[in-house]
Amino acid sequence: MFKTRYFLLIIVIAAQFVLGCSTNPVTGKQELSLLSSNQEINIGEKNYGSYRQAQGGDYYLDPSLQSYVSGVGAKLAQVSDAPNLPYEFVVLNNSMPNAWALPGGKIAINRGLLAYLEDEAQLAAVLAHEIVHAAARHGASQMTRGALTNLGLIAIGAGIEGKTNTQLYDAASQVGMAAWMSKYGRDDELESDYYGMEYMVRAGYDPQGAVELQKAFVALNKGSQPDFVNALFASHPPSQKRLEANKVNAKNYPSGRRYRQRYQNAIAQVIKDQPAYDFAKQAHEKLRKKQPKEALRDLDKAILAQNNEFSFWLMRGYAWAMLDNDKNAELAFTTSIIKNPAHYKAYLERGILLYDQGQREKGISDIKRSYAILPTAKGSYYLGEQEMAMKNYARAKSYYSEASNSPGKFRELAEQKMMVADQNLNPKKYIQAKVVIVEPAQVGIKLTNLGTVSIHNVQIWISNGKTTQNILWNKNINSKKSAIIRSQFKVGVSSLSDQFFQVGITKAVIAP
């Protein structure tokens, strides 16, 4: 235990010398960070679009709601301790009650959470909490904590000293983004609650909105809606301690405005469409249970209530595809694209449908369109397939590599195909050559094909240290199979190992 603590202390001290400390704009405290403010902003800007796409895309059925939420967010951001951050606020087309902030002030709130709130003061409580996460650089702190362990392991072996700023930044953005996605620490949550309430009051809102919000979340956490709570503030777990802290803090502030009617007017379309989303939720469950006909009946009701929601048509495409009705599935995916041409999913699904039907050119066009909006494992895999068919092995390998880095059913397939692509690029790497005795006095070579495709025209060399023989083996060696080749060398009374024979592969060719 002492040694572990000693090493960690060395790591932290070394990191401080290399990185220095940054000032938390909200608390004024000095904190260790792997990221500069500009780097943090760049990370947020780089990931904002893809995170929005992956979580349903922007809510588009009522553009005035986006403007309304952005206005409330901007008012709070102006009174924050970091008013010059490039804040953005967006409503996502997602039924889960959640909200989040990326580093640098990129903030999102789901349609599902807006439907749950009662007034603008509660909305302000949510947004102010997220603004504090951004202003106090909690994302950078999370990424630093996530990356420091990895950097620490490097430091023990090689030392942090001498690493460039770029290397440290890459470590934070790659290792640390996973840490940002995990739950915030207790101190970060309490800090965001505390200063978020102050921002609310500065902007004229009633601080009781924050108390009510946390009280409702704690009650739900103890109630009968675990799925709701698991989705709600996935990175912001509610707790009785947070509620009590909010109650105490609110006593220090005067009451403010609630703007209930203004808020209800703003979310009127969301509330009106809620029955449609409820039918869609039922349809989603039917699809999960492989009940496409029942799902279509629920989707008919959802579309009757709200015809312009693209996700309903997307689910219809899934249902028709499950029924092997490719024509109707394609039509549904096309309709989904017409309803929302800015989202990636329907392009991807229509593209795969067409590709698998043999309409590869049209399918790849759709998949490329989807990939340009949001790269996915499924899209990467199919793009790799197309490049393999065109014998563009390097590009195919790159796409398969992307697909293999994502969890899901395409990972194993992509890993296998990546090996095939790599074997086409460098066949000899997949041939194992060993020196063997083929007769009591003759040296041979055992070639084993470790790859997944057949090879031939293998050029081999074997040497005893004085003489080298070159051999061409022009017969096929199938995947996972071996061939024995005789050399010109003989062995005498000495053992094979004593004569220091060496063997290697000069060239190999993929069999046609």
pLDDT confidence bin for 156, thresholds 50/70/90: very low
* Stretch 402-406: mean pLDDT: 90
pLDDT higher than threshold 70 for residue 258: yes
pLDDT higher than threshold 60 for residue 10: no
* Stretch 33-56: mean pLDDT: 87
Q: What is the pLDDT of residue 131?
A: 96
Do residues 472 and 487 touch, judged by C-beta distance below 8 A? no
* Helical ranges in 464-512 per DSSP H: none
Is the pLDDT higher at 48 or at 43? 48
* Stretch 184-210: mean pLDDT: 90
What rounded mean pLDDT belongs to the chain?
A: 85
Q: What is the pLDDT of residue 50?
A: 94
Is the pLDDT higher at 51 or at 154? 51
Q: What is the pLDDT of residue 377?
A: 94
Q: What is the pLDDT of residue 161?
A: 40
Q: At what angle do helices 120-135 and 63-78 cross, to 10 degrees?
A: 60
* Stretch 253-274: mean pLDDT: 97
CA distances from 393 to 175, 363, 380, 382, 413 (A): 29, 20, 14, 14, 16
Tokens of 9: 């202390």
Is the pLDDT higher at 186 or at 262? 262
* Stretch 29-47: mean pLDDT: 80
Please, what CATH class does the domain formed by 427-510 belong to?
Answer: mainly beta
What is the pTM for the complete model shown? Answer: 0.83
* Helical ranges in 232-344 per DSSP H: 240-250, 260-266, 268-288, 292-305, 310-322, 326-339
Percentage of residues in the chain with pLDDT exceeding 70? 81
Contacts of 154 (CB under 8 A, 6+ apart): 160, 163
* Stretch 43-55: mean pLDDT: 93
* Stretch 192-216: mean pLDDT: 94
Q: At what angle do helices 120-135 and 138-157 cross, to 10 degrees?
A: 30
Q: What is the pLDDT of residue 189?
A: 83
- Assign 350 to helix, strand or coil: helix
pLDDT higher than threshold 80 for residue 237: no
Longest dimension (CA), the chain: 100
pLDDT higher than threshold 50 for residue 154: no
Tokens of 161: 């000293």
CA distance 221 to 334: 41
Do residues 63 and 83 touch, judged by C-beta distance below 8 A? no
* Stretch 186-206: mean pLDDT: 91
- pLDDT tens for 449-459 read 998 889 999 99
User: How many other CB atoms sit within 10 Å of the CB of residue 113?
Assistant: 22
pLDDT higher than threshold 70 for residue 217: yes
pLDDT higher than threshold 90 for residue 89: yes
Sequence length of the chain is 512
CA distance 392 to 114: 48
Do residues 346 and 374 touch, judged by C-beta distance below 8 A? no
b/e 42-76 (16+ beta carbons within 10 angstroms → b): bbbbebbeebbbebbbbbbbbeebeebbbebbebb
- pLDDT tens for 283-311 read 999 999 999 999 999 999 999 999 999 99
pLDDT higher than threshold 60 for residue 225: no
CA distance 301 to 21: 57
CA distance 67 to 266: 10
pLDDT confidence bin for 72, thresholds 50/70/90: very high
Q: What is the pLDDT of residue 218?
A: 78
CA angle 95, 230, 130 (to 5 degrees): 70
Q: What is the pLDDT of residue 322?
A: 98
Q: Order the strands of the 455-463 sheet from edge to edge.
A: 468-473, 455-463, 502-510
pLDDT higher than threshold 90 for residue 276: yes
pLDDT higher than threshold 60 for residue 324: yes
Q: What is the pLDDT of residue 499?
A: 66
CA distance 492 to 503: 19
pLDDT confidence bin for 34, thresholds 50/70/90: low
Q: What is the pLDDT of residue 140?
A: 66
- pLDDT tens for 352-396 read 999 999 999 999 999 999 999 999 999 999 999 999 999 999 999
Which residue's entry shows tokens 């083996």? 473
Selecting from 3.30.1490.20, 1.10.580.10, 1.20.1430.10, 1.25.40.10, what CATH number does the domain 272-374 have? 1.25.40.10
* Stretch 342-352: mean pLDDT: 98
Q: What is the pLDDT of residue 22?
A: 72
Q: Order the strands of the 106-110 sheet from edge to edge.
A: 88-92, 106-110, 99-102
CA angle 484, 489, 493 (to 5 degrees): 110
Q: Which of 220-234, 283-297, 396-410 has the lowest mean pLDDT?
A: 220-234
CA distance 145 to 122: 31
Do residues 351 and 336 touch, judged by C-beta distance below 8 A? no
pLDDT confidence bin for 438, thresholds 50/70/90: confident
Which amino acid type is present at position 374? L
Is the pLDDT higher at 122 or at 491? 122
pLDDT higher than threshold 50 for residue 17: no
CA distance 213 to 221: 12
CA distance 130 to 234: 13
Q: What is the pLDDT of residue 163?
A: 44
Instruction: Parse the chain into domains and list their residue ranges.
Output: 2-261, 272-374, 427-510
pLDDT higher than threshold 50 for residue 136: yes
Contacts of 390 (CB under 8 A, 6+ apart): none
Q: What is the pLDDT of residue 2?
A: 39
CA distance 453 to 423: 8
- Assign 506 to helix, strand or coil: strand
Is the pLDDT higher at 394 or at 153? 394
CA distance 355 to 362: 7
